[in-house]
A and B are shown apart, each in its own frame.
Chain A
Amino acid sequence: MFFTSFGKYLLLLKSVFKKPEKASIYWKEIMHEMNSIGVGSLGLIAIISTFIGAVMTMQIAFQLVSDLIPNSIIGQINRDSSILELSPTISALVLAGKVGSSISSQIGSMRVTEQIDALEIMGINAPGYLILPKILAGVTMVPVLVILSIFLALSGGLVGGSLSGAVTASDYIMGITGDFNGYTVAVALVKAFVFGFVITSVAAYHGFYVKGGALEVGQASTQGVVVSCIMILATDYILTALML
């Protein structure tokens, strides 16, 4: 069962990456999708990241009750865990729900109303036209959102930490600026790229093969979200093991 679905998924990807019929039309679609994935998710990612950064900072301060450790370490821990895990993974899980479900239901409803058949009759490579722009938008915009999320998590930590008195602003800033290893950002970007691919392609796969009607479209999009979340966590584990 798993292997047949996975095989079908790979075959779908093979047709997605065929040469586009006409670059200009694809380009227009890519711009459109980048806007809907990127700009459309800005607000949500911003709110979540700021709050998680603030809460993490207070929590780290609460757990580090020792005079032997300098308070600046709070900033440093928040920075490294935001970059390495929280920003990429939580953003990806949230986007799997928001972006993923909208991709599956859009493609799924095109399937059940025969719009995909209409594309195929015209001789258009439907997987390419419908899915490629979404995947390309995903692998570019998710990293952008993750970078933004990291900045906001760090700023959230600054504001939340100093407002609550968990850590002074100067200690915190010393922490997030000191001892910085650029490799962690590279890890975050690789994760974001892979998650962007997983979210868009898994959702598209679930939408593309819907059979039935509106009810099945809803079920497929829920299932797509569940599967992408699991795939995100699994690839997160694998990438962390490989890269750190």
Chain B
Amino acid sequence: MITVQDIYKSFGDNEVLRGISAKFEPGKISLIIGGSGSGKSTLLKCMVGLHEPNKGKVLYQDQDFTRMNFEERIPIRKEIGMLFQNSALFDSMTVEENITFPLQMFSDMSKKERIDRANFCLERVNLEGRNELFPAELSGGMKKRVGIARAIAMTPKYLFCDEPNSGLDPRTSIVIDELIQDITEEYNTTTVVVTHDMNSVMGIGQYILFLYQGEKRWEGSNKEIAHTDVEELNDFVFASPFMKIAKEKF
């Protein structure tokens, strides 16, 4: 369980997050949605410690992550897996080296055990046998899947994904969403996904946090989202003519 309490974050004069509070539960996918520039990535980065919030707390179980220094954070960091928006694979390493890198750095596994683990993770994301390819040789969807394989290499308790579907075709997007969902259920991870993809919202949004200009404007589930009367959320969800038609049918 991750608890975010009253987070404020600004860059210079630009107040990006204003008093965000939320709870993210294990075994569940939580989505952070909102328009471009609404502060979604910033919130995610505050949660994992890539940004330090100006005010407020981030708790992992009941440990205050915000007040820890780099060394104190390492045990929690080892339980975090993150999928980045552009995958952020290490481009000087092969697919296999990307996945085994955290294991090599932090575990006492033998080389054989590490490779077995990499093969297991690759199989999990349907990329068996691609061990020796370099990131530059992969398509966008394959990169995301390797990113997921790397994120789950250390069997994380917390999984963060920043726009896992951006730049992917609708079919591949759904494959990635399903993968995230399966992993969440299988390992009971606390999964937090930043997205603005409406298919994901409707498909996997068990808990949804809607940000509008750095504030929490709505929270609820995908079942409830169609029936909200929050104007900004309606504008966001039913922006396209297609979604407007879909709304009539709900």
Chain A interface (Cβ within 8 Å of chain B)?
21-22, 25, 110, 113-115, 117-118, 120-125
Q: B84 contacts A122, CB within 8 Å?
A: no
Which residues of chain B from 64 to 94 have any CB-CB distance to chain A below 8 Å in the complex? 70, 73-74, 77-78, 80, 82, 84-86, 88-91
**Closest A residue to B79 using CB positions:** A123
Q: Which of A21, A25, A114, A123 sits near B88, CB closer than 8 Å?
A: A114
Q: How many Å from the CB of B91 to the closest CB on chain A?
A: 7
**Residue of A113, A118, A125 contacting most chain B CB atoms (<10 Å):** A118
Q: Is B48 in the interface zone, CB < 8 Å from A?
A: yes
Taking A113-B88, A118-B84, A118-B88 as contacts, is the C-beta distance between A124 and B50 under 8 angstroms? no
Q: A121-B77, A122-B77, A123-B73 are in contact. Are A113 and B104 (CB under 8 A)?
A: no
B57 CB → nearest A CB, Å:
19
Q: Which residues of B contact A110 (CB under 8 A)?
A: 90
Given A115-B91, A117-B50, A117-B88, does the pair A22, B105 have CB atoms closer than 8 Å? yes
CA distance A123 to B188 in the complex (A): 22
Contacting pair A114 B106 (CB below 8 A): no
Residue of B nearest to A122 (CB): B102
Contact B88 A124 (CB under 8 A): no
**Bound Cα distance A25, B50 (Å):** 24
Q: Would A117 and B84 count as touching, CB distance under 8 A? A: yes
Q: A115-B88, A115-B90, A117-B88 are in contact. Are A125 and B70 (CB under 8 A)?
A: yes
Residues of A within 8 A of B89 (CB): 115
Within the complex, the shortest CB–CB distance from A175 to chain B, in Å, comes to 48
- When distances are taken between beta carbons in the complex, the residues of chain B under 8 Å from A125 are 70
Q: 15 more A-B contacts (CB under 8 A) besides A115-B90, A117-B84, A121-B50?
A: A22-B105, A22-B106, A25-B104, A110-B90, A113-B86, A113-B88, A117-B45, A117-B50, A118-B84, A121-B80, A122-B101, A122-B102, A123-B73, A123-B78, A124-B105
Which residues of A are found within 8 Å of B106, using beta-carbon distances? Answer: 21-22, 122-123
Tell me, in angstroms, the Cα distance from A114 to B84 when the chains sit together.
7
**Max chain A Cβ within 10 angstroms of own Cβ: one of B88, B102, B104:** B88
Measured CB to CB, the nearest residue on chain B to A32 is B92
Considering the complex of A and B, which 9 residue pairs feature the smallest CB-CB distances, nearest first?
A123-B77, A114-B88, A123-B74, A118-B88, A114-B84, A121-B82, A122-B102, A115-B88, A117-B50
Interfacial chain B residues near A21, Cβ < 8 Å: 105-106
A25 to B102, CA, bound (A): 11
Contacts of B73 in A (CB 8 A): 123
CA–CA, A122 and B81, complex, Å:
8
Q: CA separation between A110 and B45, bound complex, in Å?
A: 17
Contact B48 A121 (CB under 8 A): yes
A100→B48 CA distance, assembly (Å): 32
B18-48 with Cβ < 8 A to chain A: 45, 48
B68: min CB distance to chain A, Å: 12
List residues of chain A with CB within 8 A of the CB of B78. Answer: 122-123
Q: Enumerate chain A residues within 8 angstroms of B77, measured Cβ to Cβ.
A: 121-123
